[in-house]
Amino acid sequence: MLRVGPGASVSFLLSRLRPLLPPPPARGRKSRHDPPAKSKAGRVNVPPPVDPEELWVVRERYRQYKEMVRALSAEFQENVLQKVCEERSGTLAAERAKQEMDEHRLLMAWNDAENARKRIIREERMQQEQKKEEEQRLHAAIYLETLQKQILQEKTREVLQLQEEAKHFITKENLDQRIEAALDNPKNYNFSVDKEGRVAKRTALS
């Protein structure tokens, strides 16, 4: 229990009682555990409406802004690095130039060797293609010659066959002889054949 003497002042009493009292709310606000006010019991916070076109424009401009800032930052960094490199130039620059020249010389030598290798491969491929074309032309010529020989033989055979058949043709010289032979050996063509091609029925000559 707090004991106070007869000569204690009011400020002293308040200073002694302050640790026992709850702290006042900060800036006049209530704590998070206090219920909402009656006038705001059914209130629902609705965000303000946003125009989609305006939002798209804002986002596009913000994207452009970030790109510009990023580009400026990269340019500034490049300038700083360039200045640092220029400050360190001298022997380092000479060594770097020498290294670049050596690297360029090595790359040119490799390029020449690669070109020579590719040229040899290309020449070999062209020779093979030329040889293949010559073989194809030779085969085509042989095939054409063989085909011409076959055609000539076929035509010769047809001519010989026609000459052999021409011996039995009716001409002015043997017309009378052929007529007499036909009258002496009459032939009856009035007959029927069965499915096997044999003569089934023949009509007698009148």
Quote the CA–CA distance of 169 and 167 in Å, as a whole number.
6
For 175-198, what is each residue's pLDDT tens digit? 888 888 888 887 777 778 788 878
For 155-181, what is each residue's pLDDT tens digit? 999 999 988 888 878 888 888 888 888
* Residue-range domain boundaries for the chain: 54-88
Integer angstrom CA distances of residue 188 from 2, 182, 192: 165, 12, 11
Quote the CA–CA distance of 95 and 127 in Å, as a whole number.
48
Q: What is the band of 29 on the pLDDT scale with cuts at 50, 70, 90?
A: confident
Across the chain, what does the average pLDDT equal?
83
Integer angstrom CA distances of residue 126 from 111, 112, 131, 140: 22, 21, 8, 21
For residue 131, pLDDT beyond 90: yes
In terms of DSSP H, where are the helices of the chain? Answer: 10-17, 52-87, 91-166, 175-184
Single pTM value for the model: 0.34
CB 118 within 8 A of CB 112: no
Question: Length of the chain, please?
Answer: 206
For 55-104, what is each residue's pLDDT tens digit? 999 999 999 999 999 999 999 999 988 877 776 766 677 777 888 999 99
Percent residues over pLDDT 70 in the chain:
81
Q: Mention every residue, 6+ apart, whose C-beta is less than 8 A from residue 194.
A: 200
